[in-house]
Structure 1
Amino acid sequence: MAAPYDTQLEQLLLSAAAGDKNAEQQFNLAQEQNFLGSLQSLVNIFVADGANPMARQLGGLMIKNSFFAKSEEVAKINQKRWEQLDAAARDSIKNPLLQALRNPERVVSHTAAQAAAEIAAIELPYEEWPAFLPSLLENVRDPKYPDSVKAASLECLGYSCDRIATLDKVVDEKTTDGMLNVIIDGISANRPNQVRLAAAAALRNSLGFAEKNMEKPEECTAIMNAIMEATRSQDPQVRMMAYEAIVQVAVLYYGKLQEFMTNLYQLTTTTIQSDTEDNVVKSAIEFWTSLCEVEQDLIDEAQDLQARGLQPETTCMQYVAAATTHLVPILVTTLTKQEENADEDEFTVHMAGQLCLTNIAQTVEDVIVPVLVPFIQQNIQSPEWRLRDAAIMAFISELEGPSQATIGPYVQQSVPILLPLLNDENEIVRDSAAHCISRICLLHVQYIPGELFPAVMQALDAKIKEGSPKVASQAASAIFNLAQAFRSTEEQETNILSQYMQGLLTSLLSSADRPDGDESNLRVACMEAISELISVAAQDVRPMLSGALPEFLSRFEQTFNMSVLSPEEKNRRDQIQGLLSAVIQSLYRQLDKPTVAPHTDRAMYCLMQVLSNKSSNIQEECFSAISAIADVIEADFATYMDQLIPLLLAGLKNFSAYQVCIVAVGTVGDISRNIEGRIQPYCDSIMAVLIECLKDQSIHRSVKPPVLSCFGDIAMAIGGAFQPYLQLSMMMLMQAGSTKVENVDDDIIDYLNMLRESVLEAYVGIIQGLRDGNVLQEFGQYVGPVLHFLSDIAQDPHRDDYVLSKAVGLLGDIAMTMTPILPQLKTELNQPFAAEIVREAISSADQNTVETAQWASQILNQAINSS
């Protein structure tokens, strides 16, 4: 007989389901105070046939969420609580869940599958739930249980496998074999579609920890045959799920594909050509898209390893290149399946095919061109709009991947054909033509014929004013890409865009103001194009830009009067303010101090007004604009510090929105460099927050490198006044410099290099600041650990050129500044690691690194040989 359930808890669950935050808080508090008791109360409601169905379902989900939380820390705490319960207590939860899996009500068994899977993921790695697998096996194989129970049991297995893999746990081989056997049994052709679908999903989820099984040829073959057989199911959902499992195999077990590629090619291509269900076709296409991504990674890895004299572990079998000649014509047919009224967020077969072709081009490069070009040439001027559009999209697909020498001539030939298509009678064709020109501007602007450049500019300007927001947005993106192509590190008196600047800015601003600016990202595309045009403006248009600054500030001021009664209105205002912040940043980067000074009070007022709004989500843009302002007005920026500092500290403390925190740290560095010693009155509070940031274990790791680098910026700004912060800063820097990791992958290597580069920058800044403040002797006690850090870098095979350059520069600084104070340093500097860093830096391909190394070598020799 089921235990009586708590009717008060039932009402609390119903209130929580209705969105009552107080009810949810009450439940969370009860769980914190009595973890086992709250779980038992929930399971009693969940298994009680007389309880409210909504309360039952939510009760089961609450059990699941007791182990799976959005916060990893909370999840670990709850898992620990569970592990500390005795076996009888745990059985009081597990046994009812196993019984609930046999409930004929689909909503009950499905929810039980989710909850039981979370517990299984914790216990199976420790072999602590012996009843779990036999119970589910019985459910799947015993005819007395309905299909809904069999499906729920297979779902439970799949969820368990997925969670075990996510938690990076290991299950013994016997348990793994048992789980896979049940799943393979469930996917067999004699099972009902409901059961096969659940088994296919479970198999997809289980592949992550089936590595040992995939290593055994007979088991690998059994798994692959089961999946491939399921792609022939009469049920489209089963077919789709089977292809999703095949995608997982391609990603996780590329090395096992060779034996099955002929069958997989036949299955996928037949499905792409003949299956009537779009979701199944998209899943079949995704196999090739994912295979491209895997092969691209393998090719890149092989090139990188070969450059270092190493051999890759996995060889790229070039399946995509082998299939290109026959596969591409099949995929091209999907480009003619345009949906005229498709939702912009809907991923269609047409889009899946185009994405796959793009990935093939990036994988096989020049090989795709002769395969695609005939279709493009035959159809780009076809009287049938679908074929015209398909030809344009096919051309877009091959723009990235093939070499410039191969694709360049075709780009050159395409421009005079594409320009008339911008005025095609069909909007989809106009949109694709504008998109194609946009991609050409991004990737191959040099192949736009010079005599046609004015026509291209005139056509894009006209399309920005087009009635269709989609076409206008593509034209604005083309202008953005074109402007990017004219970025230059050198000051330009004029450039080819100067004569078009006034007209383009006017057209873009007018389109950004359109009532339908929210559609097709039109407003964003126009404003981003404006920012980019301003960023690349030559000297001859700066008088025009100086006149634009007050206009954009007026627009910013007007945003504070916008209605924000709904979330949509707030988001629209935030978006406009963020875009205007970016424009103001671009203007300040281009204009000089005398020009911007009269307008800076207005600019700072707008930006600080936005930062004062705690609900604003554009703080990054505001801090970036403030950095640009500080860089232009330099020491005069100190005027704004009293008002700005509370907002800046709030940004630094925004640990949860780590991107905001990173930009705020950068703003501190920019301000420090510009107002120098006048930042000192604010340093106690700034340094306290930076230290707090470094101590916070939950903060995103990408925040720490800029924080460490900021120590150097502050030290250079305040000189000897940095002394009170020296000990704690050095402790943090030495701790960061000693960071070691066990699992070295590309992401970790990149992060460690970033971390070390920041530590090196901080050391250089601190040395310079203390030297300028005549207190450099305070650094003497830290020279030994810093040299040890440099020695570690010298021996690290994963360091990048940036770290090497910073390291050799710091070595030179120490030799130059510290040996007069600590003569005994001569011996420490005359060590193999120092010579090794200098030697490798002199051999660098980067000229700046070479010059720094040559300087450091000279300084070292002088220091070591001085009397």
Structure 2
Amino acid sequence: MSAPNLTATLLACQSSDPAVRTAAEAALTSAEENNLAEFFVALANELASEGKDESVRQLAGLHFKNLLVAKDDALQVEKHDKWKAIPPAMRNAIKSTVLGAIRSPVCVARHTAAQACSEIATIELPYKEWPEFLSVMMENVTSAGGDDGIKISSLECLGFTCERIALTMGTSSDTPEISPEITDLMLTTIVDGIRSDRPDPIRYAAAKALGNSLTFTKKNMDNPTERDMILKTICDATQSGDVGVRAAAYECIVQIAFQYYDKLQSYMQALFQLTFATIRSDEEKVALQALEFWSTLAEEEMELNDLAAELAEAGQSPPPESVCVGYVKAALEHLVPLLTETLTRQDEELDPEDDQWNISMSGATCLQLVSNTVEDAIVPCIMPFVQQHIQSENWRFREAATMAFSSILEGPSDKAIGPYVNQSIPFLLTALSDPNDLVKDTTAWTIGRICDLHVRSIPEDIFPTLVNGLAAKLLTETPRVSSQACFGIHNLAAAFQNDNAAATSGTNALSPYMPHLFQTLLQVVDRNDATESNLCIAAFEAISVLIQNAAPDVKVVLLQLLPAIIERLAQSFNMPAVTNEDKEQREGVQGLLCGLIQVLSVKVTKEELLPYCDAIMTNFLQVLQTKNATCHEEALSASSAIANILEGDFIKYMVAMQPFLISGLRNFEAYQVCTVAVGLVGDISRAIEGSMKPYCDEIMSALVEALQNSSLHRSVKPPVLSCFGDIALAITSEYEPYLQVSLMMLLQAAQTRAPDDDDDLIDYVNLLREGILEAYTGIVQGLKDGNRTDLLLPYVDAILSFLEMLASDRKNDYDNEVLGKAVGLVGDIASSFGVHIKEQIRQPYVMELLKEGRATGDPTIVETCDWASTIVQQILTAF
């Protein structure tokens, strides 16, 4: 693309005319696909051309950067590989041009060039390529008398590079770590920029860059001399006269607390003094970061305490670098008064819909983390403040005392905090009518937290007053307070989950209030201001939990509620949707109503549900015609519940459902929808069994596409594999056309392994193996039911090899779910093939799996082992 054409095309991408904009974007895509190297050259030249329009230069630089950036890991690797495939000479020319643009006299061009350069450096520095990059950056920053704008852009470039390297680390296993020589040069340059004699804009850019660099400067932080220099530089910057520099310096301190907790001991006295002084007296932007240091410290100590407890159970001690020093507990006497003081600095002008973070919010969060870290030790430190100020004449202190009490509820044991909870309820119920809205809001939130965390500490005689008190605030208060009241009712209802007493007596303490609560919460949904403060969602969620935990004596109320909810869903399609916001609101309500129908359907019998099913499914199918992924997820999930209840009668809806089912299975971008659609296929298969056959060609094709799609979220793939087994169980011998392709997919998935040190991948591999075992089990049982186990004989050795690999695979420490399913598959294969696999079944790994299964002590697994062992012994002793 020639320079004039590129200029015009970039400008056209900003056109208000969709047709012009689309054509321009298509032209850029064509240039990228037809000759990527030349396209990079053209964009670099456009960015570096002095005298060009600033916006064009900026657009060129941003497009250059975006050619190298992707959110998806696989696509990111692909983009990097395309860059590396460009001939070195051409790459060098492009790099030289972009690097030169950082010295442009035009600020926008410099800044954009810094972003573009950082993406190239992210690719090349790990391989020790592009040595000119760091030498130019160092020269730009450290040279005496250089242009301040160039120094800032160069430091920005180093900051962007550090940030991008940190984000892309681990994207590809082939990418080497950054060498110490490179990090040394980066740090030297950045620290030079943060010197106290530098102008504030330069110091700010350097401080931001330093924060981004800390992810991969472990070698430097391990060296006491270098660490001292880094910490001194940062601490000096906290005393800058510029608020931005001070805040950025504290951001660095937060990063150090997060990444280098074990290196803090020598600096804690200084950091204690610095942060306390800043929290008390500095501007809020800086004080927030100083508070974040203590929040981060508390989080780190919580994790270290959890690790120590976990290791102690195994008779082990944590390594020296993972020992909790207990800084938070040691500082408690001074830290708690500081935090309670921040709670009194509320922003009374804060818009309830504005999520702007402030010092009192940050203080409350920090107090909560501190409480979770020190547990019972927080109670004697905080309760004097609460008791002194909970009824203060000054609303700030009333609200602060209430918030302090709420913030510590999760940390201490019931024994330590329970008596105070018991005493607090009357005060809190009175405070629900406080003249100050913020006090009412915090009070309702506190009651909700008590209902969630310490419901057993609520006195029985106060329970009616509590329920009625919350219900009274649903319609009469601001959306914010009413939303908190919904939260309280939600948590009260959740406390009755798995209520065995209700199953015996047929009732529970909530039953008398259910009709009124349902009626009032539905009125809340209809409030004109229900979209504010998540009020509508909070009301629907409260209704849902009330339904789920309703005692048997509320059945008649639920049967009255069901047609009312169906009617609301039907009416929702007539809601006016003039703006996109209206449309989103309508679709949000539809998704929530689908969820209510789902929870209602499982509380009634098939006979009670049948009269409503046509109306329910008609509405669900209409919801599925919207373009809202969340709606689709809810409607498909609710359809699963209906299929489970109707069983074979669900067949009448399959012709209409199939197109939406396939669309959901192929919705690879909204992977949650895809996952729910896969689950629905399994539920329908179990419900209609052999009647599933006419729909299987399309479904199996979509499932195979999902497994082959490299960009699909990996969490979807285990349930897809399991779904093969559901379908095979349903259609038995009719599964033959899909046998080969599904077994190939299973054999391929079985090769997936996880390294010892990657807990996330180990968990994923366990899920994958569960899916594989469920698939094999379903296929074996299905073909056995259809008298076609002969179809599986060519694959038996491969299936048994997978079981053998599981038996020998100690390092991935597979969980009991995998082991139980593996043992079950042994029994299924043995019962299906009998003496035909006598030699394979006598192998030691079979007995090893059975032995491990019994050793779990899990009654279900032990029972499966006994069954499988009996069949195996019958085969081994047969003539």
TM-score range, shorter chain: over 0.9
Q: Distance in 1 between matches of 2:273 and 2:643?
A: 62
Distance 2:698 2:576 in 1: 36
Mean Cα deviation higher: 21-30 or 657-666? 21-30
Q: 1:138 to 1:824 in 2, by over 3 A?
A: closer
The structural deviation recorded for 1:862 is 4.5
Residue matched to 2:771 = 758
Does 457-466 or 122-131 show the bigger shift? 122-131
Counterpart selection for 2:379 from 347, 362, 369: 369
Once the two structures are superposed, the pairs formed by residues 710-729 of structure 1 within 5 Å of their partners are 710-729=723-742
Counterpart residue number, 2:626? 613
Q: Residue 30 of structure 1 corresponds to which residue in structure 2?
A: 31
SS in structure 2 of the partner of residue 131 of structure 1: helix
Give the structure 2 partner of residue 55 of structure 1: 56
Q: Is the contact between residue 574 and residue 616 of structure 1 (CA under 8 Å) also seen in structure 2?
A: no
Contact 1:757 1:802 (8 Å CA) reproduced: yes
**Alpha-carbon RMSD:** 2.1
- Choose from 3, 9, 18 the match for 1:12: 9
| Structure 1 residue corresponding to 2:285, chosen from 279, 286, 296 | 279
**Aligned equivalents of 1:863 and 1:333: distance in 2?**
76
* Count of residue pairs the alignment pairs up: 860
Q: Which residue of 1 aligns with 2:209?
A: 202
Cα distance 1:865–1:576, how it changes in 2: closer, same or farther (>3 A)?
same
Cα separation, 1, equivalents of 2:606 and 2:752: 43
Name the residue aligned to 1:323: 331
* Counterpart check, 1:849 vs 2:864: no
Q: What amino acid is aligned across from residue 842 of structure 1 in structure 2?
A: R
Q: What is the rounded CA distance, in whole Å, between the counterparts of 2:311 and 2:516 in structure 1?
A: 50
Shift, 1:365, TM fit = 1.5
Per the alignment, residue 390 of structure 2 pairs with: 380
| Cα distance in 2 between the residues matched to 1:86 and 1:841 | 57
Q: Is 1:297 the counterpart of 2:312 in the alignment?
A: no
Structure 1 residues 642 and 66: CA distance shift in structure 2, 3 A: same
Shift of residue 820 of structure 1? Answer: 4.8
In structure 2, relative to structure 1, the CA distance for the partners of 1:574 and 1:114 (3 Å cut) is: same
**How far did 1:176 drift?**
1.7
Letter in 1 for 2:511: S
Cα displacement string for residues 52-90 of structure 1 (whole angstroms, at most 9, x for unaligned residues): 111121112122222223455554444333323334422
Q: Does 1:479 align with 2:489?
A: yes
8 Å Cα contact 1:719/1:772 also seen in 2: yes
Out of 543-552 and 854-863, give the one that drifted further: 854-863
Equivalent-residue separation in structure 2 for 1:69 and 1:730 (angstroms): 33
Distance 1:847 1:232 in 2: 64
How far the C-alpha of 1:843 sits from its partner, in A, is: 3.6
The equivalent residue for 2:173 is: none
Contact kept? 2:333, 2:381, Cα under 8 Å: yes
Pair 1:511-2:524 in alignment: yes
Tell me which moved more, 32-41 or 375-384: 32-41
1:726 CA drift (Å): 2.2
TM-score when scaled to structure 2?
0.94
Residue 821 (structure 1) shift: 4.6
Structure-2 separation of matches of 1:759 and 1:582: 30
Shift in Å, 1:173: 2.3
| C-alpha distance 554-287 of structure 1, shift in aligned 2 (>3 A) | same
Q: What is the CA distance between 1:138 and its match in structure 2?
A: 1.7
Give the distance between the partners of 1:92 and 1:524, measured in 2 at CA: 56
Q: Which residue matches 1:439?
A: 449
- 5 Å-filtered alignment, 1:392-471, equals 392-471=402-481
**Deviation per residue, 1:294-331 (Å, 9 max, x gap):** 22222223333343444434222222222222212211
- Structure 2 letter corresponding to 1:326: H
* Residue 668 (str. 1) matches residue 681 (str. 2): yes
Counterpart of 2:168?
A: 167
* Range that drifts further, 22-31 or 818-827: 818-827
Aligned ranges for residues 594-605 of structure 1 at < 5 Å? 594-605=607-618
Describe the superposition over 1:496-540 as per-residue Cα deviations: whole angstroms up to 9, x where unpaired: 211111000001000111000000100000011111111112221
Matches within 5 A, 1:427-826: 427-488=437-498, 491=503, 493-615=506-628, 617-742=630-755, 744-795=757-808, 796-797=810-811, 798-826=813-841
Following superposition, the deviation at residue 860 of structure 1 comes to: 4.1
Return the alpha-carbon distance in structure 1 between the equivalents of residues 132 and 840 of structure 2: 68
Look up the match of 2:183: 176
- Taking a change above 3 Å as real, the CA distance of residues 848 and 384 of structure 1, as seen in their structure-2 partners, is farther
Deviates more, 1:462-471 or 1:776-785: 776-785
Q: Pick which of 678-687 and 46-55 moved more.
A: 46-55
**Matched residue type, 2:329:** A
User: Secondary structure of the residue that 2:331 maps to in structure 1?
Assistant: helix
Please give the alpha-carbon distance, in whole angstroms, between the structure 1 residues aligned to 2:612 and 2:868.
Answer: 45
Larger deviation, residues 529-538 vs 37-46: 37-46
Unaligned runs of 5+ in 2: 170-175
| CA distance in structure 1 between the aligned counterparts of 2:775 and 2:429, rounded to whole angstroms | 53
User: Which is further off, 701-710 or 338-347?
Assistant: 338-347
**1:405 corresponds to which letter in structure 2?**
K
Alpha-carbon distance in structure 2 between the residues aligned to 1:77 and 1:823: 48
Distance 1:73 1:838, change over 3 A: closer
Q: 1:638 to 1:9 in 2, by over 3 A?
A: same
Q: CA deviation at 1:196?
A: 0.4
Name the residue aligned to 2:358.
348
1:406 and 1:185, CA in 2 relative to 1: closer, same or farther beyond 3 A? same
**Amino acid paired to 2:400:** A
Matched position secondary structure for 2:32:
helix
- Normalised by the size of structure 1, how large is the TM-score? 0.95
C-alpha distance in 1 between matches for 2:805 and 2:722: 19
**Contact 1:439 1:478 (8 Å CA) reproduced:** yes
**2:250 alignment counterpart:** 243
Q: What is the CA distance between 1:292 and its match in structure 2?
A: 2.1
Deviation of residue 615 (structure 1)? 4.7
Single out whichever of 119-128 and 818-827 deviates more from structure 2. Answer: 818-827
For structure 1, which segment, 28-37 or 174-183, has the greater mean C-alpha deviation from structure 2 after superposition? Answer: 28-37
Q: Distance in 1 between matches of 2:129 and 2:163?
A: 18
Instruction: Encode CA deviations 1:28-69: one digit per residue, 9 max, x unaligned.
Output: 211222223222322333223321111121112122222223
User: 1:858, CA displacement in angstroms?
Assistant: 4.4
8 Å Cα contact 1:472-1:522 kept in structure 2: yes
Query: Contact (CA 8 Å) 2:196, 2:237: kept in 1 or not?
Result: yes
Which residue matches 2:200? 193
Residue 485 of structure 1: how far off its partner (Å): 1.4
Q: What one-letter code is carried by the residue in structure 1 that aligns with 2:345?
A: K
Alpha carbons 1:17, 1:58 under 8 Å: kept? no
1:693 Cα shift?
1.0
* Cα deviations by residue, 1:130-169 (Å, 9 ceiling, x for unpaired): 2222222121122332222111111111111222233325
Q: Deviations over 1:758-800 (max 9, x none)?
A: 2222222222222221223433343333333233333435212
Shift of 1:754: 1.2
Name which of 340, 360, 365 aligns with 2:370. Answer: 360
Deviation per CA, 1:548-584: give whole Å up to 9, x if none: 2221111111111122232101110111101100111
Q: 1:97 to 1:329 in 2, by over 3 A?
A: same
**Cα distance between partner residues in 1 of 2:213 and 2:542:** 46
User: How far apart in 2 are the matches of 1:597 and 1:588?
Assistant: 10
CA contact (8 A) 1:5 1:44 kept: no
Contact 2:830-2:837 at 8 Å conserved across structures: no
- Same amino acid, percent of matched pairs: 47
- Runs (4+) of structure 1 moved beyond 6 Å? none
1:96-175 aligned at under 5 Å gives the runs: 96-168=97-169, 169-175=176-182
- Retained in 2: the 8 A contact 1:819–1:825? no
Equivalent-residue separation in structure 1 for 2:2 and 2:203 (angstroms):
35
Whole-angstrom CA distance in 2 between matches of 1:531 and 1:466? 22
Paired residue type of 1:228: C
Contact 1:412 1:447 in 2 (8 A): yes
**Corresponding position: 1:256 with 2:263:** yes
For residue 601 of structure 1, report the CA deviation from its aligned partner. 0.8
Q: Deviations over 1:234-289 (max 9, x none)?
A: 111111111111111122222222222222222111111111x1111111111121
Q: Any conservation in 2 of the 1:321–1:364 contact (CA below 8 Å)?
A: yes
